[in-house]
Structure 1
């Protein structure tokens, strides 16, 4: 019977991918899959063979109430730290926007680059990536995008190049973002070494991967800008509107949380709270206790609104993750003999299949990749390797390439860029970057 259950699990996995590719609601999809796989785990408890039950007594021996509690209570409650990180990350992002720090940073960058498209594009890519080493959420990406994109377009940079260089730079910053790390690492809680894998453990790989992405982005966008000539594509002024006085030292605030986490080992939430208050005080948003309180409350409320949809998704993902862990023995029966255990082979396969990280497919953690984690768990792949593999495909092929990512589709629509022009640029380059990161991941962790 365990083979029958395993086949049903595989078929439901395929159906889940198809359903997601058709544009289904991710939160509801994860809830449905969690429920189906929980039911199958309960059925297996009574229908599997004696030998299988004895070998997997830790799962088969659970009572029905324990199974339901594990999936629908322990899972979401255990992800409380992820939701808290998301909320405080969004809060910090709103502070940087409301104080004018980001717009001032961009304005000074443009002044430094002058009328040289290549130089200005390089500087804006670096600044955008630096900002998103701490900022998160569609609201923050869009708020900065409405400043950066018109500047690039008025310099004559082609629409698809401007859009891709901006969203790819945002994604590169995500590799070093402690809030994004907290979101993604939670998927691996049931993997070998999952609960012990920290931001500091991930930092060497993340720094190298970020360097690879930024190197490709800066070189390729510069080449395209030089070859493409100038285009009259945008009528907006390239000056950035004034946003009140922002002292020079406040411009360091976007990277302060990262420095506190890396150098002083400060908790990321505390680092963001301290830096947020510092930013408000430096920019004159806390001249009195009442004004400071109102500024903090407004930024927190706006930040939570920005991240509300993703928080709903993150409440159902742990349900599915825990259900997948209950079904791991059944996957192992069917897949253990055929799934390659050689990590180099897996790295090569991920490099070749990188586009499956698009359209919420099986290689993005923001889609069906949640299921892939459960399957890779069955062969005992450690988090030290599995996290770089799947985070790399997620950030490059989903965050920087895919139009199902909200801010990518917004940027294409906002600039009136042709969808095919964006994808003809983003997919091949994303594929190459993913292959490079997979190779580096294997060299560093394989």
Structure 2
């Protein structure tokens, strides 16, 4: 009976999110409360265990989000992000695809640390007009930007901090090196797919027509008062070098510390005299940028606590254990062919309903932890690129003047292929 009730709750809210009647920010806490009521948890316990304790469960994740958003604001306010983008565009000359590849490479690097809709708007407002001014069709420019964003996001701290939580690592434990290794493999698969897609799509588009009245030279004009030293352009990779460098040698360095050091490096290599002012305003605006993700993480924490209630776990564990995950073919088919279930905050979406399924799967040890985590990493790529409920996809679609579902139609099959190949590699590494 509880299993049927859970299915009704999941289906109802998935339908509401699909129809865009309710955002995930509200849907997840509502689901958590209904699941707790289904488990016959008293109202005081719902308030304390589910709402209060659940909202604090992923504290380290959303503090990392705030610190990352702060560093993103440092990159924007100091002009570092704009300078990197403009140098990449100049390097490509007047060849549309060369410029696009350069801009995508920069976008990938930037979004290893940048996060939030504010960062998408800032970078997209620079990158997309340059692409379109050279004749890249609007839909193709938007698609390439989304693909580049999702490629960089493989290494974004919001994911790695969440992975630590899913693996149940203590504060002193370093992230297993295999996770970073698989992330780099996934990066390689994404790069191959992005380049292949861009070449095929450009050929399919035929002659590229001028899509903007603004010339590339006008877009690349520089403010002489905002000269950015070359050394400062390394700022986006500072947190990554620190994080992966420390973890490679078995030492734990939290992304929070890495972002603080990266922010300090950025302000000190640009205008150190205004460092305090820049850091203060970046911290305030960073909290604003990171607020939606933080609220989402609170809802995820509530849902996690609700799904870990004894009655709920007792009802779901037999269903999960009955599935033949020990079969490599089933593992690949389940996470690969069903990866579209990550769309619309569905049952394979780690930022939606799927967080409950994955938590129970980790708890039942139905798969080796790293094999399950690798599957999640593959499915996350499908979600980041193809899900039309993503705020970044909605903004990009509005900016370039296409329907957000057009991006899903263009990218779903290529991203499913990336997911399937990643799962095959995961089988060789972890199963």
Q: Normalized against structure 1, the TM-score is what?
A: 0.86
Distance 2:383 2:389 in 1: 8
1:78-103 CA deviation, whole Å, 9 max, x = no partner? Answer: 32111210100000111011111111
1:199-240 CA deviation, whole Å, 9 max, x = no partner? Answer: 644101111001101111022202322442212222233233
8 Å contact from structure 1 (residues 30, 317) kept in 2: yes
Counterparts of 1:23-172 in structure 2, within 5 Å, are 23=20, 24-42=22-40, 69-172=48-151
1:347-383 CA deviation, whole Å, 9 max, x = no partner? Answer: 2122112222212222211222123224534642343
The correspondence for 1:391, drawn from 338, 354, 377, is: 377
Task: Tell me the residue number matched to 1:6.
Answer: 3
Q: SS of the counterpart of 2:228?
A: coil
Distance 1:34 1:339 in 2: 28
Q: Normalized against structure 2, the TM-score is what?
A: 0.89
Q: Aligned pair 1:230/2:230, yes or no?
A: no
Task: Tell me the residue number matched to 1:55.
Answer: none
Distance 2:46 2:108 in 1: 42
Q: Aligned pair 1:213/2:193, yes or no?
A: no
Gaps of 5+ in 2: 248-252
8 Å contact from structure 2 (residues 33, 46) kept in 1: no
The 1:260/1:162 distance shift into structure 2, 3 A limit, reads same
8 Å contact from structure 1 (residues 328, 377) kept in 2: no
* RMSD, matched Cα: 2.4
The correspondence for 2:411, drawn from 421, 426, 435, is: 426
1:96-147 CA deviation, whole Å, 9 max, x = no partner? Answer: 1111111111111111110111211111111111111111111111210111
Distance 1:179 1:387 in 2: 15
The 1:302/1:64 distance shift into structure 2, 3 A limit, reads closer
Count of paired positions: 416
Task: Tell me the residue number matched to 1:271.
Answer: 258
Distance 2:403 2:13 in 1: 30
Q: SS of the counterpart of 1:175?
A: helix
Q: How much has 1:64 moved relative to structure 2?
A: 8.9
Distance 2:133 2:291 in 1: 34
The 1:189/1:437 distance shift into structure 2, 3 A limit, reads closer
Q: Structure 1 stretch 260-269 or stretch 76-85: which is displaced more?
A: 260-269
Distance 2:178 2:45 in 1: 33
1:139-160 CA deviation, whole Å, 9 max, x = no partner? Answer: 1112101111111111111222
